[in-house]
Structure 1
């Protein structure tokens, strides 16, 4: 049933001060125990969700999944293929940190079946990397990127911008440098201060102040201009790719198609027999292992989603895409009239100020609207949709 499989490896060597992902530091990791648990959870998911459709993508996220032994990666992929089958030219991505130790594993990971890697470079400047709490240097990032391009057919790397005090001149120089490596995909994220992180505490204590919203908007506009000029236009708010090189896995999320989430804290969506279901795995690694041992799966919560909830999620995800979404398709899929999906009055207003575009039944966010996407989504989606 799922088109995509997400596998979460929750362990990191260090918690970055901006990170609110489900990542944990552990002195020792029992690889055999984790292999057994992840395999059992995958089998339970396949049994619950059906297996009549081949996977189009697999994504190893974290945490730091490049710390996984390549033999474990190979074993999990072999099981996934047996349970669901792999579509031709399946995309299999693994997130990696560009430390020397992890880069040395790239050949083995490619041999295990990984064909796309996403490197958490974040910056090529040593001072910035230290401030971001990263363990690698700029030199190690360059080395890892070079090795990755030798071993993997497709390479993405992440950068963080809109840092405190960052100017347009500084960001232009760094982004043009990054674009010069010729990768087919870039993920470019503005620094956000997430609750519960060390950076949130620092901002509250006055250690530093986030970049002003107007300055951040200027850097966002510059990002769109430069990436488009270099043949990597935005296809989602923070993701840029050559045409045809978009992340198939992430498109599954944004187009609101089915995906299975395996591992601590992983989310999943299933739709079959006319219904929709959301699954969430236990978040803490030890609780996840215990749940799988006792019940054969790691699910902490599984609940039925109303048609309104599904439509709301589909809208919130689909409007992140430059391609937008088709209201008539959503109306047919969830049997909810288009005028109940979105506020027609607000749609008319947002179109009039060039924040939303519409072509027939397809709507999307304009380039001017993308910097204020979150606010637009709150305005556009009908208030009572989730009760539908």
Structure 2
């Protein structure tokens, strides 16, 4: 396996991993971390309901044997319990799985595979340093179909040298696979990656915002024509096939992140201190209850050797944490609500604003509720619509393309 040129994930060589976190021992170490995290939760009075989703990702978990993924899933089941209809997903590089591997996942309780397709055009795949072929993706999807697993594919648009016709070809091929879920992300170039250095040196052109916007519109049109509806800015699915795990992030539920560099999030943890695999629970806490409480985020040590040493010492391997204030919770509620198709519940937000105003010192200033003076200009500019049934503010396609600007205007209107 090798790291793709655009990839900014937390990746290391086998030598970097160290004996404790080596590929052969990695699953055992994650299980040990689970036990430490579960003990920490109990000490802090966090009694989670059974897990509703599990997601193996943040790279190529299928580089591990299928039995290791199943063993980690079994440990989640033993420590937290798993809902009967839970969604259990793994990401997969098409080069790393075959019929037998996918069959073992299905037998072990997995329900879904997300394949890293990225593109179907050879020169684009080469630019992205991807080694798989479109045929590999199709073989993986068909194997998942036969095993009774749901499939999703991930696409990336905006790669240097990718034409509009190249992108149309990728989208149409994804649709023709018959998958019920597609994620499509604009290429983000980080300066520390191989691609970032090539762009800085002038050997590759920088992605163009207008080009990426045009490709987003192409994808949105073609997906909609095939019956795939957007439910989050970068995600489309047939009704009922949304990624429940992804929606958990956008709805700000609790989740436990496991593995080097993984992040965790807990609502209503008072005074606590302490991309990888993750588990979350839809029932872990209504965001409406958490906005006026303190919550927290913690993140694992990034380097696997140091991560493994912490586990061997019997410590939850967090390298840091942050307390999320009631005002920051409110900011996240607005930001996340404007990303999803169900939209931002204006009534709920205003109730939270009033609660924050009552709770905070007058010297901190008073937040303003969201009213017609805020919403009417956004509607007039074609950035949001107001759902007459729910009262939610829902981003239009233009609003999705200009999501950061919509959030900034909403923040400004509220006084955040």
TM category (shorter chain) comes to 0.7 to 0.9
Q: Provide the rounded CA distance (Å) in 2 between the counterparts of 1:47 and 1:330.
A: 34
Q: Does 1:324 align with 2:357?
A: no
Q: Tell me, what secondary structure is at the counterpart of 2:313? A: helix
Alignment-derived partner of residue 366 in structure 1: 396
Q: Provide the rounded CA distance (Å) in 2 between the counterparts of 1:46 and 1:333.
A: 31
- Pick the aligned partner of 2:79 from 55, 78, 83: 83
1:87-166 matches, within 5 Å, as: 87-99=83-95, 104-166=100-162
Q: Does 1:58 align with 2:88?
A: no
Alignment-derived partner of residue 234 in structure 1: 230
Judging changes above 3 Å, is the alpha-carbon distance between structure 1 residues 38 and 340 closer, same or farther for their aligned structure 2 residues?
farther
Q: Number of aligned pairs?
A: 374
After superposition, the C-alpha distances for 1:109-134 in whole angstroms (9 at most, x for unaligned) are 22222110000011223332222111
Shift of 1:340: 4.2
Runs (5+) with no aligned partner, structure 1: 1-12
| RMSD of aligned alpha carbons | 2.5
Shift of 1:106: 1.4
Alignment-derived partner of residue 17 in structure 1: 5
After superposition, the C-alpha distances for 1:253-295 in whole angstroms (9 at most, x for unaligned) are 0011111111111111111364311111111111111111124
Shift of 1:305: 1.4
Q: In the alignment, is the contact (CA less than 8 A) between 2:386 and 2:392 conserved in 1?
A: yes
Runs (5+) with no aligned partner, structure 2: 270-292, 358-365
Q: In the alignment, is the contact (CA less than 8 A) between 2:367 and 2:415 conserved in 1?
A: no
Alignment-derived partner of residue 201 in structure 2: 205
Q: TM-score if structure 2 supplies the norm length? A: 0.82
Q: TM-score if structure 1 supplies the norm length? A: 0.88
Q: Provide the rounded CA distance (Å) in 1 between the counterparts of 2:38 and 2:322.
A: 17
Judging changes above 3 Å, is the alpha-carbon distance between structure 1 residues 120 and 385 closer, same or farther for their aligned structure 2 residues?
farther
1:1-388 matches, within 5 Å, as: 13-26=1-14, 30-31=22-23, 33-49=25-41, 50-99=46-95, 104-272=100-268, 274-332=293-351, 335-336=355-356, 340=368, 347-359=375-387, 361-382=391-412
Q: Provide the rounded CA distance (Å) in 2 between the counterparts of 1:213 and 1:361.
A: 32
Q: In the alignment, is the contact (CA less than 8 A) between 1:312 and 1:341 conserved in 2?
A: no
Q: In the alignment, is the contact (CA less than 8 A) between 1:67 and 1:102 conserved in 2?
A: no
Alignment-derived partner of residue 3 in structure 1: none
